[in-house]
Structure 1
Amino acid sequence: MHEKRWRCYAMTVNGLPQEIRYNEATVEGLFLPLLHRLTALQVEKDGRILAFLAAPPATGKSTLLQFMEQLARERGDLPRGQALGMDGFHYPNSYLASHTILRDGMEIPLKNIKGAPETFDVALLAEKLKAAKAGVTTFPVYDRRIHDPRPDALIVDAPILLIEGNWLLLDEEPWRNLRALADYSIRIDAAPELLRERLIGRKVQGGLSEAEARAFYEASDAANVLRFAAHAGAADEVWCMEADGDFVRIKLHTKNPLR
């Protein structure tokens, strides 16, 4: 097996400068071919296309799509892509605080499970996706400074829209109706134990103690990781995230020659 060659890239993620790394072979053999497939699909359809990336928490999906947006821009021979997140479609905190959900016979405030499928405005997401296919529209953005969405914060106008989120391909109502709006879809799978350690590590880096981070995982993140694994839904491409953060493709849909 060839030794992996990692390359660092300077990026701005969530408004903050960061240095991220990807395997050079993965950039050339996985990311760029995907961008070329999307380009061919956009040319065939002669209009804006929507590509969904569904992945569980801690797989770096938002950073990945921002990197691919930057990659397309730097190459110069690819149409402009625009990376968009699903997090802007969270219900506002005021809504989450005033609404509950019944789980295991207990009534739980939605604010306690923020990030679960029930805490998103799926109807608004569907409305905005349809508007994006029809023409220029706006999208909300999740502001991590106030931990709330900001409506109509972003103008959406690129020929290729790259949209990421945990639940975009979820095989549950009302989420499964979104799949018809995607022209192409990618799903990233990852071992739950790998995600567990990454999520706990993220919380520790954010200032929690090890015990607090593990307690938060068991109370919140664990259910989302398992729900994604059980009900993620089908995709045109399936990737797997490895322990070192690299990605490998394990399925490519072949019925359409563009795919």
Structure 2
Amino acid sequence: MEEQVDRLVKKIWARFESAPATSRLLIGISGIPGSGKTSLATVMTDRVNALYANEYPGRPLVATFVPMDGYHLTRAQLAAMPDPAHAAARRGAEFTFDGDKFLQLVKRLRETLTPSTPTVYAPSFDHAVKDPVEDDIPILPTSRVIFFEGNYLSLDKEPWKSAAHLMDELWFVEADFETARKRLIKRHVKAGIAKDEEEANKRALQNDLVNGRQIVDHRLPVQEVIISKEDPAWSHE
């Protein structure tokens, strides 16, 4: 795993150094739930920022991590759907995200950087209240390497497809479904999404891995496939 990360860091650093100062480098990292994509995005952001701080001490950090979690539809929006019980049970499925809103963010970040470029804000997700928090992730004009992470960033369906085409790179973190299931059980119990392992397993099988099948079966071509393995360095997801 460490060798994969080292290679990817070198690749992105080389692309960043050769890119015009007026542009951003956008990388979309996708994978099935529990694959380790959040961990990869976090590690990549940290490593690129460490390189930048070493090369350009004193300057604002250059890399930012934007998770797709903030683009969940709110519980109120799910409750307003024709079948609110189904929508709530399937939260995390593609139709329970605001893909159009995410596309608008990507379009804005794709614009040419100028001295008057403002800070752009993305939403985060508060697991305590189980809803997005608007304008919670600042993306500074100096943030020129953006790592996006989310289930549907390489999905061959609009509006995700349009957002994917605006990325400089699409990466896919590949994990077998059984490994993902075990990770999801631990995560759901820890986050309070499920009261116990039995409930967490049911959610993983009936929702998360159903979504995972769509993600795998309808994936756009990607530039990198990263094989997910257990690694102490990947402890974020």
TM-score (norm 1): 0.75
Q: Which amino acid aligns with 1:220?
A: N
Identity fraction in percent: 25
Is the alpha carbon distance of 1:206 and 1:91 closer, same or farther for their aligned partners in structure 2, counting shifts above 3 Å?
closer
How much does 1:188 deviate? 1.3
Q: Deviations over 1:177-208 (max 9, x none)?
A: 21221111111111112212221233344564
Q: Which deviates further from its counterpart, 175-184 or 60-69?
A: 60-69
How much does 1:57 deviate? 1.1
Q: Which amino acid aligns with 2:78?
A: L
1:184 and 1:246 mapped to 2: Cα distance? 26
Equivalenced residues, count: 217
Is the alpha carbon distance of 1:24 and 1:123 closer, same or farther for their aligned partners in structure 2, counting shifts above 3 Å?
closer
Q: Which amino acid aligns with 2:71?
A: F
Q: Does 1:126 align with 2:138?
A: no
Is the alpha carbon distance of 1:202 and 1:154 closer, same or farther for their aligned partners in structure 2, counting shifts above 3 Å?
closer
Q: Which has the higher strand share?
A: 1
Structure 2 alignment gaps of length 5 or more: 112-116
1:184 and 1:26 mapped to 2: Cα distance? 16
Q: Which amino acid aligns with 2:144?
A: P
Residue 232 of structure 1 aligns to a residue whose secondary structure is coil
Matches within 5 A, 1:1-259: 24-28=2-6, 30-40=7-17, 43-44=19-20, 46-75=22-51, 76-77=54-55, 80-100=62-82, 109-134=86-111, 135=117, 136-157=119-140, 158-206=143-191, 208-242=195-229, 244-245=230-231
Q: Which amino acid aligns with 2:226?
A: W
Which structure has more RCO (C-alpha within 8 Å, separation ≥ 6)? 2
1:190 and 1:24 mapped to 2: Cα distance? 16
1:166 and 1:57 mapped to 2: Cα distance? 7
Structure 1 alignment gaps of length 5 or more: 1-22, 102-106, 248-259
Is the 8 Å Cα contact of residues 4 and 226 (structure 2) preserved in structure 1?
Answer: no
Residue 239 of structure 1 aligns to a residue whose secondary structure is strand
Q: Which amino acid aligns with 1:163?
A: F
1:94 and 1:61 mapped to 2: Cα distance? 28
1:153 and 1:192 mapped to 2: Cα distance? 32
RMSD over aligned Cα atoms: 2.5
Is the alpha carbon distance of 1:189 and 1:26 closer, same or farther for their aligned partners in structure 2, counting shifts above 3 Å?
closer
Q: Deviations over 1:72-94 (max 9, x none)?
A: 22222387110111111111110
Q: Which deviates further from its counterpart, 212-221 or 115-124?
A: 212-221
2:158 and 2:106 mapped to 1: Cα distance? 17
